[in-house]
Amino acid sequence: MRLGLPVLDEEKSCSLCMQTIDVFGDHAACCAMSDGIHRHNRVRNMVDKIAQEGMLSLEKKGILETWIIADLAMCNWRANKGLAIDVAVTSPLASSNLNDSQPCESYATWKKHAYYDEDFKGTAFEFAAMVFETTGGINNEGIEVLRQLFRFAAKHQAVQLSVYAGRAWARLACNIQSSVSQCFLNRAGSVAAIENDIDFLSLNL
């Protein structure tokens, strides 16, 4: 899937929504019967781990105030201001994104900032949307936040920034790609497909 090569010998029906899965398995990343919450949680937890490696003080996940929701919140982001991060993963292959050249940017603008910016006015927190695409893209705001997280983490882990950043990007990318692959296996997986994946991994570890 990562290389854009066929993963099925022929088209088949999705086991969850009965739509067609083409030979490239693209439907799995944008199926309406989404198990994307697991994909979202895995990415959120990875960003959380990177923040912890940077010794950033984290508020309880999910709730800042009774009326403010966020995936992660750091109270020492900058002087007298914390940062609340809402993480999302969207598929460029979803019908709503097919005509959009930058789905992650649109999602951040219209699904995150348009809904939550007003709630953060007058609070001790800034709000940032970190939106990943299943094919590897990320919105500009998310990139800037991650770069700052990498700086904190590299410093506190006593690792050269370029080394830490390279590994961190790889960790995030592998996290997303393995989640997309799991979505595919959940819908079209077979013993043969799983055995092929295991054989491939064995050759490349």
Q: pTM to 2 decimals?
A: 0.85
* Tens place of pLDDT per residue across the chain (205 aa): 878 899 999 998 888 888 889 999 988 888 877 677 889 999 999 999 999 999 987 766 555 554 567 899 888 888 888 999 999 999 998 888 989 999 999 999 999 999 999 989 888 899 999 999 999 899 999 999 999 999 999 999 999 999 999 999 999 999 999 998 888 888 876 544 444 554 554 455 4
Tokens of 36: 């994307």
Identify the pLDDT of residue 62: 56
**Angle at which helices 140-156 and 161-188 cross, to 10°:** 120
Reduce the DSSP state of residue 125 to 3 states and report it.
Answer: strand
Region label for 158, one of left (φ > 0), alpha (ψ between -120 and 50) or beta (otherwise): left
Identify the pLDDT of residue 196: 56
Residues 148-185: pLDDT tens digits?
Answer: 999 999 999 999 999 999 999 999 999 999 998 888 88
Cβ–Cβ < 8 Å for 141, 128: yes
145/128 Cα distance (integer angstroms): 8
17/10 Cα distance (integer angstroms): 18
The DSSP H or E segment spanning 88 is strand 81-90
Identify the pLDDT of residue 192: 45
